[in-house]
Amino acid sequence: MRQTFLTSARCSLLALALACGAGAAMAHGDMVPQAVDTSSLPQLGAKWLESNPYGNGTTGHKEALRIGSSAYNQNCARCHGLEAVSGGIAPDLRKFDEECSGYADAAKAKQCFQEMDDYYAGTVRRGRTRDGRVYMPPFEGTLTQEAVWAIRTYLEERRDKN
């Protein structure tokens, strides 16, 4: 009888753990995007740029890094992990464009990074939905272009520290 009770209790705990885990997985992407104050950054205008204007060595880089870190923690860390270190639910964004670093030809590397910037901005703006499930909510209308690129600046910094 005691063995049956322990087995039943273990099954109940396992079922509870699986149910909680399923709830967390279903909640992925179910969040309210938070606006970010970017008034201290150079303003970029309404037309979306093709690549990060706040890259290393540019005007506004340090401020974009500061804002990007905060914006990432407000809007991205819940799914992509603290300091961009994924817990497995969503991609590890430190590794987002690591293949570009492997090019020996500087022109090819630059083209690769530009393509990844385009993919990044499109994904953040429009989100990702597959089979009717939201994997990432759209942030267009909540995050400005400046905020999106500031987050990208932060992710580039995290990539370099990887």
**Average pLDDT value over all residues in the chain:** 83
Based on the number of CB atoms within 10 Å of its own CB, is 89 exposed (0-12), middle (13-18) or buried (19 or more)? Answer: middle
**C-alpha distance across the termini of the chain, in Å:** 53
Q: Span 10-18, mean pLDDT?
A: 44
pLDDT on residue 48:
94
Percent of the chain scored above 90 by pLDDT?
57
Q: Where are the domains of the chain?
A: 1-30, 33-160
**In 3-state terms, what secondary structure has residue 130?**
strand
- Pick one of 3.60.110.10, 1.10.760.10, 3.30.470.30, 1.20.1090.10 as the CATH number of 33-160: 1.10.760.10
Backbone angles phi, psi at 133, to 5 degrees: -100, 135
Residues 74 and 36 sit within 8 Å (Cβ to Cβ): yes
Q: What is the pLDDT of residue 1?
A: 53
98-125 per-position pLDDT tens digit = 889 889 999 999 999 999 999 999 999 9
pTM summary value? 0.77
pLDDT tens for 135-161 read 898 999 999 999 999 999 999 999 877
- Residue 100: what residue type? C
* Pairwise CA distance, residues 92 & 16, whole Å: 28
